Amino acid sequence: MEIYAQILVSGFSLGSFYALIALGFSLIFGVTRAFNLAHGELIILSGYLAYAFWKFSGLSPYWSIPVCLLVMPGAALLLNLLVRRLKAPFELNSLVVTFGLALFLQNSMLFLFSADYRLIQPETVHFFQVPGLPVNLTENQLMLLLLSLAATAAVHGVLHGTFLGKALRAAIQDRQAALLAGINVGRIGMIAFALGGMLIGLAGPLYAQTMYLHPAAGLEATLLAIVITIFAGVGSTRGILAGGWLLGVAESLAAFVLGAGWRELVSALLLISLLVFRPQGIVLKSGT
């Protein structure tokens, strides 16, 4: 039983991080209808920025998070300026343009950082006992869980506790009705990109400590974001968190029982099953 408790806790930690990856994608797509295929590449770029900061400063990698939180919203706003110029059909054109941007970022990172696999590895690994459970978490797993949950809770609080959040949710649910209500949808779209950029800025340093960085790694992060958004329904923070946990626990169990090579297959089967049996998403009401 102890080993399964360890797997579950590790799965929830990984799943919380998956939810963080998906949250920025879902927020941007929900408000602007821009299907950002470069989402994963921006996370990897943030991870490389954190890796470079850690390598050259010698400080804890968590000190790179404020730097990434300042830089990545700017990158996201530049992307917003690009997609705002697109004509109809907007969704299709945003997909094509961001796919081209993803290829550009991949090749740029290949030129700047080479194809070598990189990982932020602390010199010493600290373990923490989970109260009441025979489970240990590494410092990285604990920070992954706490920061991801804190970011998700903060976004949920903004969406449901502020006037800005009401405007964002209105734009997610019906852009035309939001316009008729006097909401500046263009400005709300910029805010959504900025918030998404902050989430990307947080996800990058955590990714660099959890998974290997390489120029092509963004594809997996983008697919994770798309899959969990499908799980949850657009704009549902609770659904995204539930989807992340479901995927994280399923992958952890699959890696333990079947081997690490089965992780992607289990994720694909889980997605197909949910699309067939629960196409409306995990949470019935979008935006909750």
**Spatial contact of 224 and 22, defined as CB atoms under 8 Å apart:** yes
The pLDDT tens digits for 14-45 are 899 999 999 999 999 989 888 899 999 999 99
244 vs 126, residue with greater confidence: 244
Q: What is the mean pLDDT of the chain?
A: 86
Rounded to two decimals, what is the model's pTM? 0.90
For residues 219 and 44, what is the distance between their CA atoms, to the nearest angstrom? 10
Q: Report residue 191 as tokens.
A: 């805010």
Highest mean pLDDT of the ranges 2-6, 156-160, 181-185, 251-255: 156-160
Q: Report residue 48 as tokens.
A: 């490389």
Peptide bond into 89 cis (omega under 30): yes
Q: Report residue 252 as tokens.
A: 């952890």
For residues 24 and 198, what is the distance between their CA atoms, to the nearest angstrom? 8
The pLDDT tens digits for 119-176 are 988 766 667 776 666 677 788 888 888 999 999 999 999 999 899 989 999 988 888 8
pLDDT at 8: 84
Helix, coil or strand: residue 287: coil
What region, left, alpha or beta, does residue 283 occupy, with left being phi > 0 and alpha being psi -120 to 50 degrees?
beta
CB burial string 240-272: b at 16+ within 10 A, e below: bbbbbbbbbbbbbbbbeeeeeeebeebbeebbe
Among 45, 13, 64, 19, CA closest to 213: 45
Q: Report residue 114 as tokens.
A: 């080479």
Domains of the chain: 2-107+137-277 (1.10.3470)
Residue 212 Cα to chain centre, angstroms? 16
For residues 130 and 137, what is the distance between their CA atoms, to the nearest angstrom? 7
Among 197, 191, 176, 215, CA closest to 48: 215
Nearest 5°: the CA angle 138, 22, 253 is 50
For residues 244 and 221, what is the distance between their CA atoms, to the nearest angstrom? 12
Nearest 5°: the CA angle 210, 243, 256 is 55
pLDDT at 288: 47
Transcribe 223-241 into DSSP letters: HHHHHHHHHH-TT-HHHHH
| Length of the chain (residues) | 288
The pLDDT tens digits for 73-121 are 999 999 999 998 888 888 889 999 999 999 999 999 999 999 999 998 8
Is the torsion defined by CA of 2, 263, 214, 226 positive or negative?
A: negative
Q: Report residue 220 as tokens.
A: 């997996």
